[in-house]
Structure 1
Amino acid sequence: MVLYLLLALACVAANAFFVAAEFALAKVRPSALEALAQGGDADARRAYEITKHLDAYLSATQLGITLASLGLGWLGEPALAGLIEDGLELVGLAALGSAGEPPGWIHGIAATVGFSIISILHIVVGELVPKSLAIMRPEDISRWSSRPLKLFYTVSFPALWVLNGSSNLVLRMLRLPAMQHAAAFFIF
């Protein structure tokens, strides 16, 4: 259970990273990064190159946010609910059940409290705080996130290619023009 909680916290951190990267890239002025890059800043140079392929990298941040959020829900709520359920049983609520089993409502309470805690953590730490930081300091966050974001883009490129292709297929089925996603091409 502790491992699942640690993995859930890693999912919150990953979500925060991708949200910060997404908002920083959307907010940053490429000319500011270019000036820093001309001064010899390698992270600024990498971030500047990323801004030239913004659509592709924003698709990567969306994939990262989605995967981290799904992982958090999959791991976090059940693990936290299990801990809460154990705590409720320790304070004697299990004795209210029959045949040594805790009453069914204990799991309902634990799941509700666990879901609420995970949701608050996800929204505050995984979404709102990184968004605010990225809006306040887009150059710093763009530079800081450029190396891991570029690595994630490279590793996730096949998935991005399939997802963007699927999106275009659905658009064509709806008789709408398909978008030319930058992620349709591998960008180093």
Structure 2
Amino acid sequence: MTLVENLFIILALIFTSCFFSMSEIALAAARKIRLRQLADDGDQRAHLVLGLQTHPGNFFTVVQIGLNAVAIMGGIVGESAFTPYIASTLSHWLPAHWVPQTSFILSFTLVTSLFILFADLMPKRIAMAMPEAVALRLVKPLLTCILILKPIVLLFNGLANLIFRVLRVPAERNDDITSDDIYAVMDAGAEAGVLDTNEQQMMESVFQMQSIPVTSAMTARESIAFLSLGDDETMLKRKIADNPHHKFLVCDGQLDAIKGFVNSTELLIRLINEQTLDLKSSSVVQTCPIIPDTLSLSEALEYFKSHRVDFAVVMNEYALVLGVVTFNDLQSAVMGSWVLAEGEEQIVARDEDSWLVDGVTPITDVLRTLQIDEMPHSQNYETIAGFMMFMLKKIPRRTDSVSYAGYKFEVVDIDDYKVDQLLVTRIKSNTESEPAAQH
């Protein structure tokens, strides 16, 4: 054959190898989420690609048959195509005994370089850059190759499956999407500038709602203002004036003896109409929604949705009231500072190395702000005050401190045994690796 004919055959082999190389990378790298979106939009090729990804044995067998066959043919044709011409050229410059070996090496190098550059490197980089588009274009020709080579495919694929079963090696990849995968995508989006920091934190909070207890978002019992059945009209007016809430719990002397709740708007209407505010005989007391303290934020939100309420009393297994949670509390737990009014932030940065933290701040918010992976035995407490009690093994006092994960947590304000505020400072020295408590 002439040089032109040999060049044409080599170009055809390079084109064939390019097809198999692009198919291999594109179908392996194509994202299933994107392919499912395309399939839902009516693209039948996306269904075909998903089918090959689900059962990749036939696909990989055909690709390897094609690549190996083309590589062997390329070596044979290339050596016979270029060696005589290179030898003829070198015969004028080199001794006769050096010409055969040198011409063979140069011919081998030339053919190998052409295949590496045009049949392997460039096609694979193109396929990696846009895997879904390439996979959709090549899936039908690849299925045709699988059909043509089906007997050989079945033979090699069957032998491979047999060896996998003997060695107990899984032959299919697990494409289940985990929460870690979603977090990784959000982190990548934040690094790329697609998401800002607040959006990333809000989305992470949504995914964490199933694991965060509702008690982390509630108003604790000591902060609840309630009306008692024994209060006279003067006392009721004073409590309402001192605590301008939309709803008030109605109890029989103590908070744990809940009788219901009243809407402050209805009480105002009764005052305007010069009616009595005697709660014992009043029809304004409504049944109070009560939820257990074992619910997560997600479950509490579902309860609000299904029962069409916007608040609920949180009660433990001993029928003791732990607090009250509202829809706004749940919303704040997800959206954080986006819905907090000025002055309501529970974590206030003094500078880049210190923060003032409210004692009832959920531990998840502390972890996020300080970028700490986890707290020790975090299942035993829900707030930063609980963390201090757990680490100190006692009721904290002012100036008590705990050092952990490169931070010093110091109690700066106590209110009747309650940790009201802490000062968190970054420890400059990184030599400390174990948590330490100071009394």
1 CA distance for matches of 2:138 and 2:88?
A: 39
Structure with max Cα Rg: 2
2 CA distance for matches of 1:28 and 1:46?
A: 12
2 CA distance for matches of 1:57 and 1:49?
A: 10
1 CA distance for matches of 2:149 and 2:17?
A: 16
Aligned length: 170
Q: CA 1:165–1:46 in structure 2 vs 1: closer, same or farther (change >3 Å)?
A: closer
TM-score, normalised to structure 1's length?
A: 0.77
Residue of 87, 99, 103 corresponding to 1:110: 103
* Aligned counterpart, 1:80: 82
Q: Does the CA-based 8 Å contact 1:168-1:178 persist in structure 2? A: no
Q: Does the CA-based 8 Å contact 2:62-2:146 persist in structure 1? A: yes
1 CA distance for matches of 2:126 and 2:119?
A: 12
2 CA distance for matches of 1:81 and 1:156?
A: 33
* Aligned counterpart, 1:176: 166
Higher percent of residues as helix: 1
Residue of 126, 143, 152 corresponding to 1:159: 152
Q: Does the CA-based 8 Å contact 2:61-2:156 persist in structure 1? A: no
Q: Shift in Å at residue 43 of structure 1?
A: 2.9
CA-to-partner distance for each residue in 1:150-176, whole Å, 9 max, x for gaps?
11111111112222344467x49xx93
CA-to-partner distance for each residue in 1:46-88, whole Å, 9 max, x for gaps?
3233222223212211111111111111211221212322334
Question: Is the partner of 1:7 in helix, strand or coil?
Answer: helix
Structure 1 stretches of at least 4 aligned residues deviating more than 4 Å after TM superposition:
166-169, 178-182
Residue of 42, 45, 48 corresponding to 1:46: 48
The one-letter code matched in structure 2 to 1:70 is I
Question: Is the partner of 1:22 in helix, strand or coil?
Answer: helix
CA-to-partner distance for each residue in 1:132-161, whole Å, 9 max, x for gaps?
111111001101111111111111111122
* Aligned counterpart, 1:99: none
* Aligned counterpart, 1:57: 59
The one-letter code matched in structure 1 to 2:29 is K
CA-to-partner distance for each residue in 1:18-37, whole Å, 9 max, x for gaps?
11111111111122122213
1 CA distance for matches of 2:117 and 2:98?
A: 28
The one-letter code matched in structure 2 to 1:176 is V
2 CA distance for matches of 1:55 and 1:166?
A: 11
Q: Does the CA-based 8 Å contact 2:58-2:154 persist in structure 1? A: no
Quote the sequence identity (%). Answer: 26
Could you tell me which runs of 5 or more consecutive residues in structure 1 were left unpaired when the two chains were aligned: 97-102, 183-188
Tell me which of the two structures has the higher relative contact order, counting C-alpha pairs closer than 8 angstroms and 6 or more residues apart.
1
The correspondence of residues 114-133 of structure 1 with structure 2, limited to 5 A, is 114-133=107-126
Q: Does the CA-based 8 Å contact 1:5-1:75 persist in structure 2? A: no
Is 1:145 the counterpart of 2:135? The answer is: no
Q: Shift in Å at residue 178 of structure 1?
A: 7.5
Q: Does the CA-based 8 Å contact 2:22-2:134 persist in structure 1? A: yes
Q: CA 1:180–1:165 in structure 2 vs 1: closer, same or farther (change >3 Å)?
A: farther
Q: Shift in Å at residue 7 of structure 1?
A: 1.3
Is 1:4 the counterpart of 2:6? The answer is: yes
Could you tell me which runs of 5 or more consecutive residues in structure 2 were left unpaired when the two chains were aligned: 173-439
